[in-house]
Amino acid sequence: MRAAVQRVSRAAVNVAGRVVGQIGPGLLVYAAAAPDDGPDDTAYVAEKLAHLRIFPDAAGKMNLDVGQAAGAVLLVSAFTLLADARKGRRPSFDGSASGEAAEPLIAQLADGLRGFGLTVETGRFGAYMQVESVNDGPICILLDSRRAV
């Protein structure tokens, strides 16, 4: 499972002109599942997201995680995170799980984050979404369960 993480001041997801998820300060997370991902991958990414210390403490140092900073998470499924653009000009999406396989994994990721006591909003799986965000920092981090040590 791969996740692109942005620290944001605010973020929202719109589907067909309606807001389906929004947060104030916190993390905007784009997540994608690979065909062979499973519960261990979602647990790894959820734990990393919940404890990633990228929020400033009183001294301005990045020492707080999203929960300590009283932030929330906006989780958006984005199969394009697993695109392979090394050959040619059109990306290949063969590295992404099918929608049937990915949807429950994205839901498990949301549940895993909630299990850490976090407020989690989501986009709508499989929908065309418009995402608005104000990146704070900017702080952008890539997580990948396949690169875990």
Using omega within 30 degrees of 0 as the cis cutoff, is the peptide bond preceding 138 cis? Answer: yes
pLDDT of residue 114: 98
Full DSSP string of 25-56: SEEEEEEE--TT--HHHHHHHHHHHHH---EE
Number of domain units in the chain = 1
Is there a domain that residue 17 lies in?
yes
Residue 64 has pLDDT above 70, yes or no: yes
**CA proximity to 3, closest of 75, 85, 63, 98:** 75
**CA proximity to 30, closest of 63, 98, 77:** 77
- CATH number for the domain spanning 101: value is 3.50.80.10
Residue with tokens 């999406």: 93
Is there a domain that residue 142 lies in?
no
pTM of the model: 0.95
Is there a domain that residue 57 lies in?
yes
pLDDT of residue 67: 98
Task: State the pLDDT confidence band at 146, using cuts at 50, 70 and 90.
Answer: confident
Angstrom distances, CA of residue 71 to CA of 13, 147, 148: 17, 26, 25
pLDDT of residue 148: 62
Residue ranges making up the domain that contains 35: 2-85+92-137
Is there a domain that residue 149 lies in?
no
pLDDT of residue 147: 79
